[in-house]
Amino acid sequence: MPRPRVTVIGAGNVGATAAQRIAEAGLADVVLVDIVEGLPQGKALDLAEAAPVVGHDIRITGTNDYAETAGSDVIVVTSGLARQPGMTRDDLLAKNAGIVRSVVQQAVAHSPGAIIIVVTNPLDAMCHVALEASGFPPERVIGMAGVLDSARFRTFIAQELGVSVTSTHAFVLGGHGDTMVPLPRYSTAGGVPITELLSPERIDALVDRTRNGGAEVVALLKTGSAFYAPAASVTQMVDSIINDRGMILPCAAYLQGEYATQGLYVGVPVELGRKGIQRIIEIELTNEEQQAFERSAAAVRELVDAMERLGTEAPGSRTPEAAPAGG
Ligand code: APR
């Protein structure tokens, strides 16, 4: 049986690190794509030359030609620009929407049955672009955000309690941004909710740090943004999909009535398997949590509306009837 195949678009920090992790975990053959000539080829060659030392037989190739990505099972989209000095949020939104639309259209033409994982920011808005550009059904277009956000929350919980990160679990809902909604009562250490282990003040501090997790890394790095934890998060999602593991992971999913939200990508727990999102898991929220969720969804809606205003042709919602059955 041929090995599964994952295309990673964008051979920058997140893309190349994800390619390395996917290969070293033995999950799938990897095709790295970038618009810059030589970059994906060079990184793929370097990664391939690490294989004898690491001890795997995964095939890693780099290309600027989407024909070489044909038949991919998963397409990971990391291509995009980082915000430059003087660039407004809207400029970035329009630029990255253009990039994501173009790479998705080219990639799906060669891999009509793939599952797309979107990583490019602003994440939730880029998911809308990828959904529209691919014509795929929503369960095959998924955003990577919650795995990363909950990993950050888990890191801080473990540090605070002085316990192993592997004994922690964290629950994060909402958009990928300042309005994300970490849920302390569903976040645990050794199965015990952190609300029973930590004071409300300490929990607030950890929640705040989680919300600003991306910005904290950017402030330290000064150039560039986080990529080790984002790449690890992508790899976990690829593992659950390729190996049909059915992990329940927080991901950006297209809601069609769940959590009282219609036609919008927002972070929620989903079951990830070979078909993509196999189930969206709905949990009871308190009034306060539901309000925080709605505020977060409203922030995503604003971005999607801004894209429409900017003429980036990414309609904010589409009716389930209008959604093509997939390719
Ligand atoms: N087609 C293919 N690749 C492209 C295109 C395009 N049209 N436009 C840009 N790229 C490539 C760039 O050449 C670069 O190699 O995307 C890559 C982006 O890499 P980095 O600048 O290193 O950015 P990275 O840190 O990997 O982040 C990528 O993930 O977490 C998010 O916010 C982050 O949106 C950003 C994305």
Six-digit token pair at 74? 């998963």
pLDDT at 86: 73
Q: How buried is residue 65: exposed, middle or buried, by Cβ count under 10 Å (0-12/13-18/19+)?
A: exposed
* Substitution candidate for ligand 1 out of 225, 234, 235, 237 with most atoms within 8 A of CB: 225
- With contact defined as beta carbons under 8 Å apart, do 296 and 113 qualify? no
Nearest by Cα to 41 from 76, 13, 65, 71: 65
Which residues are known to be catalytic? 176
86 φψ region: left (φ > 0), alpha (ψ -120 to 50), beta (else):
left
Beta-carbon contacts of residue 184 (< 8 Å; ≥ 6 apart): 193, 194, 195, 203, 207
Six-digit token pair at 97? 């929407």
- Alpha-carbon dihedral sign for residues 256, 258, 262, 267: negative
pTM for the full model? 0.94
Report the C-alpha gap between 60 and 40 in whole angstroms: 10
pLDDT at 285: 93
- With contact defined as beta carbons under 8 Å apart, do 234 and 144 qualify? yes
Q: Residue holding tokens 């030589």?
A: 38
Backbone angles phi, psi at 316, to 5 degrees: -70, -30
Three-state SS for 37-65 is CCHHHHHHHHHHHHHHHHCCCCCEEEECC
* Residue of minimum CA distance from atom 7 in ligand 1: 99
Q: Report how far ligand 1's centroid is from the alpha carbon of 120 (Å).
A: 7
Divide the 327 residues of the chain into consecutive groups of 10 and give the mean pLDDT of each group: 94 98 98 98 98 97 98 98 77 93 98 98 95 98 97 98 98 88 95 98 96 92 93 98 98 96 96 98 93 93 88 49 33
Start-to-end CA span in the chain (Å): 23
Cα 85 to Cα 51, 91, 92, 206, 211, distances in angstroms: 39, 11, 11, 29, 23
Q: How buried is residue 326: exposed, middle or buried, by Cβ count under 10 Å (0-12/13-18/19+)?
A: middle
The one-character DSSP state at 199 is -
198 φψ region: left (φ > 0), alpha (ψ -120 to 50), beta (else):
beta
Q: Report how far ligand 1's centroid is from the alpha carbon of 92 (Å).
A: 12
pLDDT at 317: 42
Measured from the Cβ of residue 167, the count of other Cβ atoms closer than 10 Å reads 15
pLDDT at 312: 63
* Residue of minimum CA distance from atom 20 in ligand 1: 12
- With contact defined as beta carbons under 8 Å apart, do 116 and 77 qualify? yes
Q: Report how far ligand 1's centroid is from the alpha carbon of 186 (Å).
A: 34
Q: Which atom of ligand 1 is nearest to the CA of 99?
A: 7
Six-digit token pair at 107? 């990639």
Q: Which atom of ligand 1 is nearest to the CA of 227?
A: 25
Q: Residues enclosing ligand 1, CB less than 6 A?
A: 9-15, 34-36, 39, 78-80, 82, 99, 102-103, 119-121, 224-225, 227, 230
**What one-letter code names the amino acid at 189?**
A
Report the C-alpha gap between 184 and 157 in whole angstroms: 10
Beta-carbon contacts of residue 66 (< 8 Å; ≥ 6 apart): 33, 106, 107, 109, 110
Buried b (16+ CB within 10 A) or exposed e, 32-54: bbbeeeebbbbbbeebbeeeeee
